[in-house]
């Protein structure tokens, strides 16, 4: 059984039309009119296949192909359809359409699985609207409660809870739709890589063995605001000078003290009062550290904090540090990885075992099921931007690996 390239291309290009920023990348937030139209298209396609389709009270969509033994736990595949602002057409959508296409091919070939096979479309994976990434899978797996949705508020002052209700959903009923251990046998998510490795190596498929954990640390540097022209250099307590010395050493600390798999980034910086002719008296920045090995995260944290103390002592500055959030590394199922490898080898498809630096819905699903992930190349590693691009031929190859693995997993 093989997937159909033209159908995959047709579906992805059709979905790309539903976009609130045409000409400036793709923007499709959860609970918007664009989201509603994609949902309508996907649920109609699922119903054409005779799938039992449900939408849970926060908006996760599930379409089930009934197996020979409905009492057995399901096999699940899918991803998400929401995007970041001014993002691309492939992040999330490639995984949803690959799962849909795999079920189409099963149906066309009159394949009836022993275990039911489901396509899942998670709501609010990206999280740009409510600052709640992986929202749908977090709630579905019980990692967060429905009550937490009331605290996830967008720039218009609307909570995710309120937005779901305005969208015609009833989050208060979510308890009856959560999944627990034993409900799902295995879950596979196909996703674009969002990095350069597969594209640089010209390998069409990555099989993911682990996803990096992440820690966010807020670092506040305190000096004195003063007149930029009248204050001699030797009498200044410039918070930006201190922050710059700390930030500029993050790269060196990470590459020389931690592991090859460790990455660290300062992507958010706030300067006060942020006026050209005033010496900054306060700088706040967030250090993000990721690694599949938790030790790498702790090494960078410890070394950066040590450098903060040294720099601030030398420049007569004060500082505060605070951990904002943390997620644990996720190790995927050896069983699912082996089945994905076998599917690729059976089809003579070249693949690479690799890690994921980004979190995905599959990471949350690992709380309740055996989980695996397939990566397909991102051209030049671009993602979360209008230039995001993956060859349809590579998506088809990844979908073929997915199809083979779903057939194997769904057969007793």
pLDDT, one tens digit per residue, over 43-54 is 999 999 999 999
Q: At what angle do helices 250-257 and 294-315 cross, to 10 degrees?
A: 140
Which is it for strands 213-222 and 318-327: parallel, antiparallel or unpaired?
A: antiparallel
| Tens digits of residue pLDDT in 145-159 | 999 999 999 989 999
The one-character DSSP state at 176 is: G
Proportion of the chain above pLDDT 90, given as a percent: 97
pLDDT of residue 412: 85
Which pLDDT does position 327 carry in this prediction? 85
Contact 149, 136 (CB under 8 A): no
Nearest by Cα to 409 from 336, 349, 355: 336
Each residue's pLDDT tens digit, 339-351: 999 999 999 999 9
**In the β-sheet with 263-272, what is the strand arrangement from edge to edge?**
263-272, 282-291, 213-222, 318-327
The rounded mean pLDDT for the chain is 97
pTM of the model: 0.89
SS3 state at 264: strand
Q: Which residue in 5, 61, 1 sits closest to 396, CA to CA?
A: 5
In the numeric block, which tokens belong to residue 25? 């990348």
Instruction: Tell whether the model's pLDDT for residue 380 goes beyond 90.
Output: yes
* pLDDT at position 323: 94
DSSP-assigned beta bridge partners for residue 184: 74, 181
The residues pairing with 181 across neighbouring beta strands, listed in sequence order, are 184
Question: What are the chain's domains?
Answer: 5-212+329-409 (3.40.630.10), 213-327 (3.30.70.360)
Residue at token pair 């308890």: 175
99-136 confidence digits (pLDDT tens): 999 999 999 999 999 999 999 999 999 988 898 999 99
Residue range 54-101, pLDDT digits in tens: 999 999 999 999 999 999 999 999 999 999 999 999 999 999 999 999
Contact 368, 179 (CB under 8 A): yes
């Amino acid at each position: 059984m093989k997937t159909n390239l033209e159908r995959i291309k047709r579906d992805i290009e059709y979905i790309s039309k539903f976009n609130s920023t045409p000409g400036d990348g793709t923007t499709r937030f959860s609970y918007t009119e664009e989201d509603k139209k994609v949902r309508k298209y996907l649920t109609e396609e699922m119903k054409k296949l005779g799938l039992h389709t449900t939408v849970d009270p926060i908006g996760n969509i599930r379409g089930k192909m009934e197996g020979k033994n409905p009492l057995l736990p399901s096999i699940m595949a899918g991803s998400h359809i929401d995007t970041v602002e001014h993002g691309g057409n492939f992040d999330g959508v490639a995984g949803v359409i690959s799962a849909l296409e795999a079920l189409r091919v099963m149906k066309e070939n009159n394949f009836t699985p022993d275990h039911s096979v489901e396509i899942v479309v998670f709501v609010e994976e990206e999280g740009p609207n409510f600052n709640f990434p992986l929202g749908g899978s977090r709630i579905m797996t019980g990692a967060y409660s429905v009550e937490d949705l009331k605290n996830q508020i967008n720039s218009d002052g609307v909570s995710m809870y309120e937005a779901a209700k305005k969208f015609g959903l009833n989050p208060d009923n979510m308890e009856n739709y959560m999944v627990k251990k034993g409900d799902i046998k295995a879950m596979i998510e196909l996703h674009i890589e969002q990095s350069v490795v597969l594209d640089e190596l010209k390998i069409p498929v990555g099989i993911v063995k682990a996803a990096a954990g992440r820690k966010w640390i807020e670092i506040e540097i305190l000096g004195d605001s003063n007149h930029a022209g009248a204050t001699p250099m030797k009498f200044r307590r410039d918070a930006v000078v201190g922050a710059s010395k700390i930030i500029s050493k993050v790269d060196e600390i990470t590459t020389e003290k931690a592991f090859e798999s460790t990455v660290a980034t300062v992507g958010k910086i706030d300067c006060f009062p942020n006026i050209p002719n005033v010496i900054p008296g306060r700088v706040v920045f967030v250090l993000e550290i990721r690694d599949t090995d938790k030790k790498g995260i702790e090494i960078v944290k410890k070394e950066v904090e040590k450098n903060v103390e040294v720099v601030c002592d030398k420049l007569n500055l004060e500082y505060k540090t605070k951990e904002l959030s943390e997620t644990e590394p996720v190790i995927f199922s050896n069983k699912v990885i082996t089945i994905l490898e076998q599917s690729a080898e059976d089809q003579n498809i070249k693949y690479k075992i690799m890690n994921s630096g980004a979190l995905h819905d599959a990471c949350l699903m690992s709380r309740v099921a055996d989980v695996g992930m397939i990566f397909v190349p991102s051209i030049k590693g671009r993602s979360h931007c209008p230039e995001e691009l993956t060859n349809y031929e590579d998506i088809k190859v990844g979908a073929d690996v997915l199809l083979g693995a779903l057939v194997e997993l769904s057969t007793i």
